[in-house]
Structure 1
């Protein structure tokens, strides 16, 4: 696409068209060739020497993953800006983070579908686990995502989760267990072992995914000033572990989950989900499960109520 087409599609990248802003990019909703699209534009103030390689890597990995149902479909790109812009099929996609932080008390009757039920959260976890397993096992070389978090996930109109950002991904050489690289990612989701050693492994994604599971379960972010100001733990891990030690399981859960009708079966699922998340965030990588085993366990948790 030309720069002129994307400027017209997004009203010159009007801030009112932004549906998501992240560290290096913004996502704009627009209309292109009579279809709704999402346009990812990397921020110019980050410097093209930084953002251009990120955008190119994003394009390459997304194209390699194009056949996977849980990857946002890349519709095209534009190379006329200082840094490439990516265009995705819209498909009713909404950032997962918006759904997680959506306030039930402010929701009108017709907005209730924006509130994530436990069934939806479990399905989203399963979807993203499948993508990460594909990254680790199905490409020519294992690829570590390095930035798994709710802001990099869209949920379409059918409730299907789609991973859409691969700009920080890195491949591990064949026959090697790790690759050395400076720590990148998002504080709170970043594997502390990788942060200290600079060794990227597949278990780095397992840690991030475990934190993602905790966010789905609690409806809270890994690091929260609001939580601290309320007299609670600044760290989500500390918050969860404190209530686990005190046998106060329900205080961990997002109240919106408790609003559902699941009975004892749902509670068993929630407890299994929490136990899996805590295994994923073990301090040492060797103590964490492989992503393929995480994906299998999530399927087992789902079937525990619906054989």
Structure 2
């Protein structure tokens, strides 16, 4: 028992326990209180880590389902990155962003406790046939418009409403969950990057997912909020076409190029997902396509802000029959 206690204390020190206290103090008044769990707390709420969901563990906290997420080995090398992530996430409060409930630093790798979102990822709902049959109502045009607006609202909040402007850096349909009501919840915050006060960009290691990553960011290594705008534009194309961001075609490799070419040739109707083509009007589809086209422009300065995108999507939703 004494050896276990010493090990927990060493882990707490190595994982940045003192730094976390300092960071949470700095965010005091700006953040939501998060719980600091002991290693035994996590063992109890996760039933000794017996219910594994992919690389994470499902548990029960105060009669609600939660997910216990182990941070990566890479994060463990620099505990400051993990502590900054926890501190920043504690300052985020938005209905379309998954909520961080607490953390534990007594384990070998830091563990984060999030609310559990039960209904799979947006990618699964768009692209997985079995999932489509199970939750077909979530794939209607009306629901796609709603989800798009909710994601835009969440990212706009990160850019403009959070205490510190934040770039998600890996926005994709796999990082959007849908809850039991079909409400979008943005996840995947291990890559988030705060933008320093007084600046609009930051040079950083290039992160992102093939097919979603901003080509300007890949080329220059300069990250801005418009990098998220590009990635969101790809999600809009997925929602409208039902296609993956990297496509199998003799002519095209990326959904962005495929889509832009068809629109420029006046063939938008040919790329609309057949599952929703009878549910909306061409006026809606064209307006939606125009927003997406502006988001995926090659030069970041030509893209709209996420706040502008969210406002435009709300207008398009009002056109829904």
Shorter-chain TM-score range: 0.7 to 0.9
How is 1:181-260 mapped onto 2 (pairs within 5 angstroms)? 181-224=204-247, 227-228=248-249, 231=250, 233-258=252-277
272, 283, 298: which one pairs with 2:313? 298
Residue matched to 2:89: 62
Residue matched to 1:101: 127
TM-score (norm 2): 0.79
C-alpha change, 1:9 and 1:204, in structure 2 (3 Å) is same
Displacement of 1:290 after TM fit?
1.4
For residues 286 and 131 of structure 1, the distance between their equivalents in structure 2, rounded to whole angstroms, comes to: 21
Q: Secondary structure of 2:190's match?
A: coil
Displacement of 1:115 after TM fit?
4.7
**What is the total number of aligned residue pairs between the two structures?**
285
Displacement of 1:104 after TM fit?
5.8
- Deviations along 1:254-287, one digit per CA (max 9) or x if unpaired, are 33223xx525x3x321221111111111111111
- Deviations along 1:124-151, one digit per CA (max 9) or x if unpaired, are 1111111111112123432222111112
Q: Is 2:52 aligned against 1:17?
A: yes
How is 1:28-43 mapped onto 2 (pairs within 5 angstroms)? 28-43=57-72
C-alpha change, 1:102 and 1:10, in structure 2 (3 Å) is farther
Contact 1:243 1:249 in 2 (8 A): yes
Q: Is 2:201 aligned against 1:178?
A: yes
Q: Which blocks of at least 5 consecutive residues in structure 1 are unaligned?
A: 20-25
Residue matched to 2:167: 144
Residue matched to 2:16: none
Q: Is 2:103 aligned against 1:77?
A: yes
Q: Secondary structure of 1:94's match?
A: coil
Displacement of 1:164 after TM fit?
2.2
Residue matched to 1:281: 296
- Deviations along 1:147-204, one digit per CA (max 9) or x if unpaired, are 1111221111112111123222222223222122121222221111111222111211
Q: Secondary structure of 1:262's match?
A: coil
Q: Is 2:112 aligned against 1:86?
A: yes
C-alpha change, 1:33 and 1:138, in structure 2 (3 Å) is closer
- Taking only aligned residues, the RMSD between alpha carbons, in angstroms, comes to 2.6
Displacement of 1:82 after TM fit?
2.9
C-alpha change, 1:47 and 1:143, in structure 2 (3 Å) is closer
175, 182, 185: which one pairs with 1:159? 182
Q: Which has the larger radius of gyration?
A: 2
Q: Secondary structure of 1:38's match?
A: strand
TM-score (norm 1): 0.82
- Deviations along 1:208-249, one digit per CA (max 9) or x if unpaired, are 11112112222222224xx24xx4622111221232244332
Displacement of 1:91 after TM fit?
5.1
